[in-house]
Amino acid sequence: MALIKYKKMKHIKQKAFTLIELLVVVAVIGILAAVGVTTFNGFQSKAKVSAVKANFKNVVKFINTDAMNCVISGGTIFRQTNNSGGGLNRNCSDTADNVSPFHEGSLQTHIGYSGIAKNPYGNVGEDRTCDIWSGWTAMTSVQSAALGKKMCKGQIGIYTLSKNSHNCHREIVVQAGTEDAYWTFSSKASSGVLSETLCIEHY
């Protein structure tokens, strides 16, 4: 009769994480996630500030370029009046507020509807704190302003400071808030607000 030999099976001890080790891992993951979110938010905030600064420069350059073109060649300047590209030509020689191509209202509609300075903080057209008519939701990146007016974050304000003074046909103040907060339009730069005064000679 054959004997059946049985091999003694070795008991393999399986390793596992202890509860304390698991808690440590979860805590480390939580810390890394929090740091990652904070860093990401910081990058987002800096990107929006950079976009506002770029918008500000673009608006100032746009106004100066149009004024220079008026001085050099005269004639008319196109001003967009709706978001489908429609508009009208304004005479360079016109200085009255209701017809001047450099009145803040005319610049507001043209720059806003043309989309050359989009608000990085999104649409603020329903924010009544900034005294914006909600029907202008497509163009709230640029607003005709007034001294002491509360402005929304990311907005660029344009205001005629004076006409026919300081050897300027129109003296325009352009400002932009660079912080994620409301800001007040004034005649000069302040903390968190970019400002430039343009002397426009347009004929």
Give the model's confidence band at 133: pLDDT under 50 very low, under 70 low, under 90 confident, else very high: low
Q: First-to-last CA distance in the chain? A: 123
Task: Check whether 153 has a pLDDT greater than 70.
Answer: yes
- One-letter amino acid for residue 138 of the chain: A
Sequence spans of domains, the chain = 28-200
Task: Check whether 8 has a pLDDT greater than 80.
Answer: no
* Rounded to 5°, angle at Cα 76 from 132 and 168: 70
User: CA 130, CA 56: separation in Å to the nearest integer?
Assistant: 19
* Cα dihedral across residues 136, 142, 146, 151: positive or negative: positive
Question: Which own/partner pairs from 64-68 qualify as long-range (CB within 8 Å, at least 24 positions apart)?
Answer: 64/198, 66/101, 66/102, 66/202, 67/102, 67/198, 67/200, 67/201, 67/202
Mean pLDDT throughout 155-178? Answer: 91
Please tell me the number of Cα atoms within 13 Å of 188 on its side-chain side. 0
User: CA 178, CA 176: separation in Å to the nearest integer?
Assistant: 6
User: Is 200 within 8 Å of 168 (Cβ atoms)?
Assistant: yes
- One-letter amino acid for residue 126 of the chain: E
pLDDT of residue 70: 92
Residue 199 host element (H or E):
strand 193-200
Percent of the chain with pLDDT over 70: 81
Mean pLDDT throughout 130-143? Answer: 64
> What is the dihedral angle through the alpha carbons of 63, 69, 71, 72, rounded to the nearest 10 degrees?
160
Pairing of strands 183-184, 193-200: unpaired
Task: Check whether 7 has a pLDDT greater than 70.
Answer: no
User: CA 3, CA 94: separation in Å to the nearest integer?
Assistant: 118
Task: Check whether 74 has a pLDDT greater than 80.
Answer: yes
pLDDT of residue 83: 81
Q: Which residues pair with 1 in a beta bridge?
A: none
